[in-house]
Structure 1
Amino acid sequence: MSKSTPTDAELEVLNVLWTKGPSTVREINEMLSKEKEVGYTTTLKIMQIMTVKGLLERDESSRTHVYKPLMKESDTQRTMMDKLLYSAFGGSASKLVMQALGNNKTTKAELDEIRKFLDDQLENKKGERE
């Protein structure tokens, strides 16, 4: 499995595959085209490159090739977050979180979820010390 960070275009393809599951180039192109105009051959080329890079696997057992991601969504997010954390925030998780929460787009429900996560983390740490 590749540890390379996907490009923006590759990430769009991966997001479709993580949501929809194994798909053909045509299916992925149709999903991508709902957001912006993307040519079939462009989608095909991106997916061929992704296969060479080890980001996708192509099942050639039928006439229509079916692609699936070789990276889990959570692993990709973790890799990209680590890269962002160290390159843009000097490794400071608090700076990253403050920037993310300071954009005024965070909903009350999201903040409640974050609070619960932090409370759970504190409880787990407290339990480890006892």
Structure 2
Amino acid sequence: MKTNKPESAQTGGPTRAEMDILQVLWDHGPSTVRFVNDTLNAQKKSVQYTSTLKQMQLMTERGMLLRDESSMKHVYTAALEENSTKGNLLENFVDTHYKGSVSKLLQYFLGNKKASKAELDEIRKLLKEEENKL
């Protein structure tokens, strides 16, 4: 059954390549395909201009990007909000890989990755804030 949701919403979120493009737009605001492609290549992601163009056209069709065609250079803007998009991806990841348990996710990260004192202090602060909400 076909729905009116963007394909990304039907499949669990943007792909890695789509996220790379969205991140450039979130970081830099409305941009041309040339700017997005140059930025991706500066990040050591070897991407052809035509591939970036096609991907952004498809993302526009899927409702992930908005395109301003009022000038010669088309300018694209992210139609998806950064925090909610990343939040949805993270929730899906935790549900899929950690049975919805945030504590298991944190245990994995803290057990397998050396956290700095500053990171641990930030985690403590976030936990305290969450505890105060209860």
TM-score, length-scaled by structure 2: 0.87
Alignment partner, residue 111 of structure 2:
102
Give the equivalent residue in structure 2 for 1:36: 45
The amino acid of 1:15's aligned partner reads Q
Match of 2:66 among 54, 57, 63: 57
SS in structure 2 at match of 1:91: coil
Tell me the equivalent position of 1:26: 34
5+ residue gaps, structure 2, are none
C-alpha separation in 1, matches of 2:114 and 2:19 = 22
SS in 1 for 2:112: coil
1:11 counterpart residue number: 19
Aligned to 1:69: 78
**SS of the residue 1:102 aligns to:** helix
Determine the structure 2 residue equivalent to 1:128: none
* C-alpha RMSD of the superposition: 1.4
Q: Aligned partner of 1:27: which letter?
A: F
Q: How far apart are residue 97 of structure 1 and its match? A: 1.6
How far apart are the structure 2 equivalents of 1:100 and 1:24?
Answer: 37
Q: CA deviation at 1:105?
A: 4.2
Q: For the structure 1 residues 53 and 106, does the alpha-carbon distance in structure 2 shift closer, same or farther, using more than 3 Å as the test?
A: farther
Instruction: Measure, in 2, the Cα distance between the counterparts of 1:102 and 1:18.
Output: 32
Q: Does residue 112 of structure 2 align to residue 115 of structure 1?
A: no
Q: Distance in 1 between matches of 2:26 and 2:53?
A: 18
- 2:34 counterpart letter in structure 1: R
Q: Quick one: distance in 1 between partners of 2:28 and 2:107?
A: 33
Cα deviation, 1:58-97, whole Å, max 9, x if unaligned, reads 0111110000001111011111011111111111111112
* Percent identical: 46
Question: What is the letter of the counterpart of residue 77 of structure 2?
Answer: K
Distance 1:53 1:77 in 2: 18
1:106 counterpart SS class = coil
CA distance in 2, matches of 1:105, 1:40: 38
2: distance between equivalents of 1:73 and 1:79?
10
TM score, norm. by length of structure 1: 0.90
Q: 4+ residue runs of structure 1 moved beyond 3 angstroms? A: none
